Every structure is written in C-alpha cells, then in structure tokens.
Chains A and B, each alone.
Chain A
C-alpha cells in the first residue's frame, strides 16, 4: 500500500482498514447478486420474448400477465412479499424449500431475477417486433423455416436494436439492488448503513458508497459501449 494512503487511513476515524473491508465485502455481494440475477434473467427473457410475439393468446397471454405484474409493482414490494411472505406460509420451515428461503440471498436473487426478466422480455420483444419486414421476407424467399429465421435473422438483428435499452436496464438493476439491504443482506448499501449507524457520519458513509456505485456504472457503460461498437460496426462510415 502506498505510504500516502496508509497515512490517510491512520488519521481518519471512519475509513479504517476494517470499514474498507466491510465496503469491499459489500461490493462483492452487490456484484455477485446483480450479475447472477442479470444472467439468469436474460436467459429466461429470451425464450419468453420469442413466445410473447407468438400470435396464439394462450401462449403470449400468460407472459403478458407476468411482465405486467412485475413491471407494475415496485421491486421493494416484490422483495418484501418473497422474503417475509414466504416465511409466513404455515409449515414451510419443515420442507426443503426452507433451506433455500432461509437465507436472504435466494429470496433477493429470485425477486431481482423475476423483475429484470420481466423488463428484459419486453425490451427484446419490442426489438423482435421492429425487425424490418424486408429482412424476414428475404429469409422466407431463401426457404428458411421459422426456427432458422429466428436464429439466423431475427434474433441477431433484434439484439443489435435491444442492446442500448438493455444497457439501461443493467444500470437500473445495479442501483435497484441497493434495496437488498432491507432484508439483512450486507451489500454495498448495507455496508454503508452499518458504517453510518456506527459513526453517525452520513456524508462520509454514503458519499463513499455513491462513488462505488458510480465506478461500477462507469465500468458497465464502458463495456456496453464496446459491445455496441462491435455489434453495430457495419453501420459505421467507412473512414469513421
């Protein structure tokens, strides 16, 4: 550790090695939670989005209900219902489900995943629906069936259009994960709240954690810029 950092750490009460470790553990938890819910959410959302565009209302209807429910209610309420609600179901403590729901991590992961999957489904559905008719007709003219068309033409084309909106969803999810701290998970915000309540220094505790979130957001923005450049490279001017 450089000397000036060690010196700075020694002369302030709040940012000692111990509290910095607490922030670090919180950062790991936040990243872990957000990453897992985003990956699982995306894997769930792609098939749901495809089925959501199917004309048969028996297929697309239930998915519409699901996305409507999870986009129509606050994530905090969803988390409360899943975390505290499930614990109130009589006899749940004797089943194997309790092994999963006892720890706060899995209820939070479930709530976050269902929430982000609902938003992502609608983002991808919109992108699929806005596929230019010409591309689909050309694929049909080549004799591609529905599956092949979906795989080769529609999904790659939709992915390009969805990536900008999806990057917003990812950043929103990172910030929304701050509510994990209400169900005793010590994520970044949980660490900040613990440190705030120990030292009664709201500015120090929360501005530091705000900076942590900003750095994470910056990394995400940077990564998505690279991804967009890659996916949309055919649209760049030749000498651009």
Chain B
C-alpha cells in the first residue's frame, strides 16, 4: 500500500512537473523598433520583448520567443505555432472575433510626418484634398484615414514601413500617417522631415493576443500585467525605450 502511494505521488509529481515546464511560445514580428528588434549582437530585445520576459517571470513559466511575419500572425496563433502574440497588435473588433485579447498594455498615437516643406493643416479636409497619404495596410492608422479621409485624399497602402518611407523620400507621398514611434525612428531620424500634425490617439490600445479557448491563460496574463504596472517594473522598462508615456 505504501509503495502504491509513493508510486502514485511520484506519477502525480511527474505530471504536474511536465505541466509546469510547458513552455509558452510568444511571437514577435521584427524589426519593429523600439518594440522588438535585434540589437547589435543579434540578441532579441525591445520594449515588448522585455515586458514579455517580465510576464513570463510572473507566470513562473519558461518562454520561447518566436519570430513571425505580420501577415501570418493570427493564422500562426490559430495553428498553434505559438501561444501568445505580443507584437504591437492593436485591439480591434475584427481581430477580437478571431483571437482573445488581454487588457491593453500600451497605446501609442498615430503621427503625421512629412517633409519640411509640407505646410498643410492635416485636419483641414479642403486643404488636404488630392494629397497622397501613405499608411501601413491593415493598421488602425489605415482604418482612421480610410474612414475619415477616404474619397478626399489619395490613400496608398504599404506592407512595410520601409517601403512607405522610401516613397515619401521619393516624393510619391505628400505625408505619411504612421504609428508614432515608428515614424519617429524611420522618418524623423532623417534630415528634412518633421512632424506635420497633432498625434491622434487611436483605438483601444495594444493587447496580448491568445487563442479564444485559452481563457485561463488570459486571466493569468491579465493578472501578471496588472502586477507589473503597479509594482514599477512596467515603468522601468518603459523609461528605457521611451521619453513619453505609453502606459494605459
């Protein structure tokens, strides 16, 4: 009898042991500075990467980081190639039909960037008529411009920010409307470009995306995020990458 109990408890320990050791796989689309990118030594880093590590620490699980191109993000999650997406995915109603979002963990505004010579008020629809605006396809900036300025301005949609900036430099675009930190990195870092309008806060912020069935995981992730926001870990990571507030 004693032997049986030992054997049973061993088996139980083994089972819970394997359950705990089950890695969480978290997907990022790189490069998306300063959220996720490789540093000079090739190490994966960035605001969301560090936040993801902190979340894993709170959840007391091992995490594996997966690189996934944006186009295949949600399909990859649903196909169980990874368990969490922490790659600046804004919460939208359309996406929420496919995936389960955590509470938002950051929000960045959309920013208007253009050449020094650009002097039009971007909120003045008459002045903006027939101007060419570049956006990244499928982003909240795309939705905003399509809904508020569709039919007025000429909208061009790009897959990557690089292609879009190339066309801004080539003067095919008058102005781009892009996630603020991305614009800061890619457009403002060049000579002859400036911010040409007030940043616009869009959407509900960025959340961790999970499969719909993983409701328990979502609860744990939400709890972890809340703790990080309260105990100062979040602020410490944010200050490393931003000189403005993106906390939500």
Contacts and interface: CB of A to CB of B under 8 A. Distances in A.
A87 B137 contact: no
A197 B98 CA distance: 13
B94 A200 contact: yes
Interface residues of B, number: 21
Contacts of A200: 74, 94-95, 97-98
A87 B167 contact: yes
A80 to B, nearest CB: 10
A199 interface: yes
B156 interface: yes
Contacts of A93: 170-171
A104 to B, nearest CB: 8
Contacts of A184: 156-158, 167
A182 B162 CA distance: 12
Contacts of B137: 193-194, 197
A202 interface: yes
Interface in A198-231: 198-200, 202
Interface string A92-132: 01000010001010000000000000000000000000000
A198 B172 CA distance: 24
B166 A102 contact: no
Contacts of A199: 94
Contacts of B167: 84, 87, 184
Contacts of A193: 137, 159
B192 interface: no
B138 A197 contact: yes
Nearest to A190: B157
Contacts of B31: none
Interface in B91-106: 94-95, 97-98
Contacts of A102: 171-172
B151 interface: no
Contacts of B94: 198-200
A88 interface: yes
Chain A: interface size category: 10 to 19
Contacts of A202: 75
A194 B157 contact: yes
B116 to A, nearest CB: 15
Contacts of B156: 184
Nearest to A92: B170
Contacts of B171: 87, 93, 98, 102
Nearest to A89: B170
Interface in B158-177: 158-159, 163, 166-167, 169-172
A87 B98 contact: no
Contacts of A182: 159, 163
B166 A84 contact: yes
A87 B157 contact: no
Contact of A87 (B75, B158, B166): B166
Interface string B70-110: 00001100000000000000000011011000000000000
Contacts of A186: 157
A240 B179 CA distance: 67
Nearest to B156: A184
Contacts of B159: 182, 193
Nearest to A184: B156
Contacts of A87: 166-167, 169-172
Contacts of B74: 200
A186 B156 CA distance: 9
Contacts of A196: 138
A152 B98 CA distance: 64
A186 B166 CA distance: 19
Contacts of A194: 137-138, 157
Nearest to B74: A200
A84 B170 contact: yes
A190 B138 CA distance: 12
12 contacts: A84-B163, A84-B170, A87-B166, A93-B170, A93-B171, A102-B172, A184-B156, A194-B157, A197-B137, A198-B94, A198-B143, A200-B94
Closest 4 CB pairs of A and B: A197-B138, A87-B170, A184-B156, A197-B137
Given A184-B158, A197-B138, 7 more contacts: A87-B166, A88-B170, A102-B171, A194-B137, A198-B138, A198-B143, A200-B98
